[in-house]
Amino acid sequence: MPSQPCTLIIFGATGDLTHRKLIPALYNLWIDGNLSSALTILGFARREKTNEQFRSELKETAEEFSRQKIDGTRWEHFASSIYYCRGAFGATEQYTSLAKTLDALDTQRGTCGNRLFYLAAAPEQFETILENLRQSELSTTRANSWTRIVIEKPFGTDLLSAQRLNSLVEGVCPEHSTYRIDHYLGKETAQNIMVLRFANALFEAVWNARYIHHVQITASETIGVEGRAGYYEQAGALRDIVQNHLLQLLCLIAMEPPIDLGADSIRDEKVKVLRSLRPIVGNEVPLYVVRAQYMAGTINGREVLAYREERGVHPQSFTETFVALHVNIDNWRWAGVPFFIRVGKRLPKRRTEIAVHFKSVPHILFKKAIQEVEENVLAICIQPDEGVFLQVSAKLPGSTVRIQPVKMNFHYGTSFGRATPEAYERLLLDAINGDASLFARRDEVEEAWRFVDGIRSHWNTSSTKDVAFYPAGSWGSSEADRLTEVCGAKWRRL
């Protein structure tokens, strides 16, 4: 069923996010028949260009990044809904011009006055854009129409800045019309976690501390900072990935069943998990958190520089490119079950995975077997090869009892015979249709920052810089091994 008609206004329309993600996602949604024929896209940026130039530039990058091949005739039809408006984010008078353009498009395109403002600009521009939307009354919802705002990460840099930004947003747009986007939650496998858990008695019955030994959440990247040193020097792996993406995945794994699939019902349960996280503060930080930075090494046969040698990085930087945490959730379901989180750049493989390790069975029956029986593992791959596999034990053929782990695999591509939609496709469609289930609520963001700030506070005030180092192409600092070994576990090899 096609989406509601609206105008999607993209602030930062000439940036990478628009070219690489937003326009390809919108094109794919349009090809699949998910968008209203009246949907209109209006780019807002400071560079001078015509509608035709803007459309031509978007086509070039869409041909490279679109999930589906760009068809010339179809593209021209799709591109006819794309317009460009030149303006500076801080120029209040240009928002008046934007308002007139939107009114004209409402009449011309039949968008019913519905508007979705997408902040695809740099985070330091958020406040300026939001304030001008308020002053120009563009954010005011008119009769028989709706207005929504989508805000990209990072949503603040700590708890105080997130609270400040939240308060600013609240003065511009009500919470139910604010969509804080996290592209990890748009990935098909992340969405499937609730179905896997709550629609299968096989798993939900054992999804607790009685049967689960520990949980691992890993996000590994082969790339370095890739020209983003200015941002990364300020953020680091903890704030860049753990605070948003990985804590969101942890919530999906650990949450209680919501009363229904409504947006607030789901987000209520996620917030309960965040509030149950045992704080890691003060002298406990070195015991439960390891941070490290990559040195020079080899990735896929190619020599790469150390982080401190990257352009724009301070030669004595202590910014972490790898972080591992032992997290505890102090509630009834998860008491005593450690959650291990690790994320790093310049690791051997690109992969994001959640692995649920079940407790081992007594080995009395198989104590004469040549090898010990391994525990069952349910692994959920978020990217790049989306799917789920369950590791169980089986007997090798032969006259003796020899036990070996085997995998029962499910892959989206092979099981359903088609490519899964990109994360931004689902998230854009949900924002247009007013479904906030996959978007972070204000209290979620603030609780996540509260947890992360406890760790960063110790790092900032500690007299010793407890940063370890690891060669690029390895699986991070060996210091991280002690986090799992203390609990009788070890990191999975991906």
Catalytic residue numbers, as ranges: 245
* Burial category of 255 from C-beta neighbours within 10 Å (exposed 0-12, middle 13-18, buried 19 and up): buried
**Region label for 212, one of left (φ > 0), alpha (ψ between -120 and 50) or beta (otherwise):** beta
- Residue where the block lists tokens 């993406």: 245
Cβ neighbour number for residue 307 with a 10 Å cutoff: 26
- What tokens appear for 140 in the block? 């005011």
11 to each of 60, 141, 177, 381, 397, how far by Cα in Å?
A: 20, 19, 17, 33, 62
Residues contacting 122, CB < 8 A, separation 6+: 12
Q: For residue 191, give the amino acid letter.
A: Q
Nearest to 304 by CA among 233, 236, 223: 223
Please provide the DSSP assignment of 155-170 as one string: --SSHHHHHHHHHHHH
| Peptide bond before residue 286 is cis, with ω within 30 degrees of 0 | no
Helix (H, G, I), strand (E, B) or coil at 1: coil
